Structure 1
Amino acid sequence: MYARAITPILNVSDLAASFAWFEKLGWAKLWGWGEPATFGAVGSGECEIFLCLGAQGGRGHGGGAPTYGEGGDQTADKGVWASIWVDDVDAIHRRCVARGIEVSSPPADMPWGVREMHVRHPDGHVFRMSRGIPRREPHI
């Protein structure tokens, strides 16, 4: 098999609010289907995410604030977890804070070689904003 692309489908409780949330994050609404719309898509760069009103998957905010680190619970949220590879984790963090997007884990250098942060969609979907940390060659 050769996969050309993958498009996650998120179960959302309010399609218009989800479009608005992604727009605050810096994504664009690509299209909505139906009148009123019950299915649609958002995109950024070459990436696309489908949004489905009340169907196709699970959702649910687990109630805990952090998704990683001290007091973190990576099992509480019942929505999708997705990694989004970006150019500047810290710039995205500043944007999220300024626009009121819930940051469930602030930017940190992780032992697995990435700088990442987590944001939580109102329906419990968690996005890991990540960038690889360049490996430093030892000086001889």
Structure 2
Amino acid sequence: MNFHTTVPILYSNDVLKSLEYYTEVLGFDCKWDWGSPPTFGGVSKDGVQIFFCEKEQGNPGTWLSIMLDDVDEYYEKIKAKGAIILTPPESMTWGIREMLVQDHDGHCIRFGHNISHRPGNSCTLPDTVRIVERKPTVEEYKELVAAVGWTETQQNADPELILSAPIFAVVAEELASGKAIGCALLLGDNTSFYYVKDVMVQPSWQSKHIGTEMMNTISRWLNQNAPANALVGLYTGGYLAPFYNQFGFKHAYGMSFRVQNQLP
């Protein structure tokens, strides 16, 4: 069983007024309502949803947090539209740059972005490690896959075939030995779609900013080489979503399937 999403239900004195504020001022993309006159409704943007219930569920003054790409850019946009801004963007000691915005029912939203490692910014690597723009060798790739404990399907895949596909790749090397302790691959058509694959770091070297700097290197390559508006995607477990959020990745709706049987 998997949890998919969470949707706050906010108390509203006037559902239509709430929908108007969140779409016309705060920039949510779409809205819907239920009832005649409406007593329930909701808004959404980029997978983030908020529901409103008129004078029933919840209470005025609820707090919630929404993470986005750039809180300073968002601040300028909604300020010009008359948003009720309690505090402008401020960098906090816990690694979030955030601002406080209120609605007409007294609900307070903390809009912010992660500033610990913003996309494109270098981070502090161990002195004994460097990031190199190259593909891992077959043996390096196989050792990394085994070290991070990936599935039998991945371990049995043909590494030579996998490593023939990337258009760009990075390897984290231990300086003294030249040993590969991490890698990240980038596939794509070099026209409109790119796919980040196999971001791996040896367990003993994790939580040392190595994965972050490999992703920063890939982000810089994309910014310099990918066409404008190209789509960049990846698959990951939900627990890793906060890591990839800092590079601009967002939850997206889509469809997929796994091959069950090989053809004879």
Q: TM-score range by the shorter chain?
A: 0.7 to 0.9
Could you tell me which runs of 5 or more consecutive residues in structure 2 were left unpaired when the two chains were aligned: 118-122, 128-264
Report Cα offsets for 1:6-63 as digits up to 9, x if no partner. 010000111111111101110034311011110011001111111111110101xxxx
Indicate the RMSD between aligned Cα atoms, in angstroms: 1.6
User: Is the Cα–Cα contact under 8 Å of residues 19 and 29 in structure 1 kept in the other structure?
Assistant: no
Q: d(CA) in 1 for partners of 2:126 and 2:85?
A: 37
How many residues were matched structurally? Answer: 121
Q: Distance in 2 between matches of 1:95 and 1:38?
A: 29
- Asked whether the equivalents of residues 7 and 50 of structure 2 are also in contact (C-alpha less than 8 Å), the reply is yes
Aligned residue for 2:78?
96
1:139 CA displacement: 9.3
Bigger helix fraction: 2
Letter matched to residue 124 of structure 2: E
Compute the displacement of 1:138 (Å): 7.2
Question: Which deviations, in whole Å up to 9, do the C-alpha atoms of 1:76-110 show, x marking residues without a partner?
Answer: xxx21111010010011111210111111110110
TM-score (norm 1): 0.80
How many percent of aligned residue pairs carry the same amino acid?
37
In the alignment, which residue of structure 2 is the partner of 1:44? 45
Of Structure 1 and Structure 2, the greater strand share is in: 1
Higher relative contact order (CA 8 A, sep 6+): 1
Distance in structure 2 (CA, Å) of the matches to 1:14 and 1:29: 18
Q: Distance in 2 between matches of 1:125 and 1:53?
A: 14
Alignment partner, residue 16 of structure 1: 16
Structure 1 outlier segments of 4+, above 4 Å: none
Report the counterpart of residue 213 of structure 2 in structure 1: none
The whole-number CA distance in structure 2 between the counterparts of 1:120 and 1:43 is 17
Question: How far apart, in 1, do the equivalents of 2:42 and 2:69 lie?
Answer: 22
TM alignment of 1:54-133, pairs within 5 A: 54-59=55-60, 79-133=61-115
